[in-house]
Amino acid sequence: MHTPDSKDNLIAEVAKAADLCLKPYVHSVFLENQFDDDNDIDDLMFKIQCRNIDGEREESMDIELEVYKSGNEVNMTISWKSLIDRPILWQGKHAIWMDSSSGVQCEKPSDGKLFESLARRLRTVFKSSLT
């Protein structure tokens, strides 16, 4: 059973992963939907807010993270909050970049490796929360 502490720990892990993978920025994380009282990750929506090293908001770097379970796998999408024309990363067993308008697979953006690193790290965090 998830507790308020486990919710806070999960949010802290998301922030820590974002700080590590998306340097030099510092991140605040908010869960945008309810956290169920069971061990299943049905559909979690996170808002990840970005600040520069001086503590000023960098809204153009804010991202949205959706985590959901499909069978025994944890999948996620990561997208930019304000840059809606940028590709979306879908991360399951493999990373796939999709055009945000059409959903068609596309090329990885120039900063895509950073987001793929974040997605792999977060997938590990969420998979361990299922056990």
Residues 100-116: pLDDT tens digits?
888 899 999 988 999 99
pLDDT in tens, 25-49: 999 999 987 665 554 567 899 999 9
pLDDT in tens, 48-103: 999 999 999 999 899 999 998 888 888 999 998 876 788 999 999 899 999 988 88
pLDDT in tens, 7-28: 788 899 999 999 999 999 999 9
d(CA 78, CA 61): 12
Three-state secondary-structure class, residue 20:
helix
